[in-house]
Amino acid sequence: MPTQVRDAYDTLADAYADFVRGKLEEDPLDRALLGVFAELVDGPVVELGCGPGRMAAHLHGLGVNVFGIDLSPRLIDIARHNHPQLRFEVGDMTALDLPDSSLGGVLSWYSIIHAPPAHLPGVLAEMHRILVPGGHLLLGFFEGPQVEPFDHKVVRAYRWPVDRLTGLGRQAGFAEVARVIRQSEAGGQRTGGALLMRKSS
């Protein structure tokens, strides 16, 4: 599956980067959540599935020491080009080349959506491993009544009930801090979710 996700994003990287460009500026709620995260984290932050780097760059602008990791080499090229002051590396969130307890925060913004559901406990365990005790995890995802795939434009993706994610988070050693659910705009089909958790054990 990482190979499929990598290849799909590599193929569509430029179109994807165009598609997301400017979206954060139009979105007060997403910016507010990044602001909360920036204020809570203490120590370096990694964005997992950083794509063209716009979220990492926003955190950097808020004073966060942040770097980005993505499966797609082409997206990492774009991120480096767009944000030359930041560090971006190709990597796989299921097996990160990062030391234990080394980070104050992990941001994953609509990137766990591409993990096959059975892999999610392993992904959360890896996020937990790299965080310091008390470190914060901010997950963005599509919310829905059950774990099921939906028609993502790039590659297969899954929506999740927020309670399932918090349950898996708890099993991985996270405590829920807050959850946000946003309704889709008129006519939209997708409910957005954000889950802020803290490494508690």
d(CA 175, CA 185): 30
Least CB distance from residue 34 to its own copies, whole Å?
A: 9
- The answer to the question of residue 32 lying near its own copies (CB under 8 A) is yes
The CB-of-183 to its own copies minimum distance in angstroms stands at: 5
Of residues 12 and 66, the one with the C-beta less far from its own copies: 66
When asked if residue 40 is in the footprint of its own copies (CB under 8 A), the reply is yes
Q: How many CB atoms lie within 10 A of CB 46?
A: 26
B/e letters for 55-69, b = 16+ CB within 10 Å, e = fewer, are bbbbbbeeebebbbb
177 binds its own copies (CB under 8 A): yes
The one-letter amino acid code at 92 reads D
| Residue closer to its own copies, measured from CB, 130 or 196 | 196
Asked if 132 and 103 touch (Cβ cutoff 8 Å), the reply is yes
Residues β-bridged to residue 194: 140, 180
Please compute, for residue 111, the number of CA atoms within 13 A of its CA located in the half-sphere on the CB side.
31
180 binds its own copies (CB under 8 A): yes
Of the pair 38, 115, the CB lying nearest its own copies is at 38
* Residue 171 touching its own copies (CB under 8 A): no
Q: Give the C-alpha separation, 48 to 67, whole Å.
A: 9
Among 15, 20, 95, 175, binds its own copies (CB under 8 A): 175
The neighbouring-strand residues paired with 103 are 131
Q: Binder to its own copies among 2, 11, 35, 134 (CB under 8 A)? A: 35
Q: Which of 5, 12, 17, 33 binds its own copies (CB under 8 A)?
A: 33
DSSP annotation of 132: E
One symbol per residue from 9 to 28: x for binding its own copies (CB under 8 A), - otherwise; what is it? Answer: -------------------x
CA 89/CA 53 separation, integer angstroms: 11
Tell me the closest approach of the beta carbon of residue 186 to its own copies, in angstroms.
Answer: 8
Interacting residues toward its own copies by CB under 8 A: 28-29, 32-33, 35-36, 39-40, 175-183
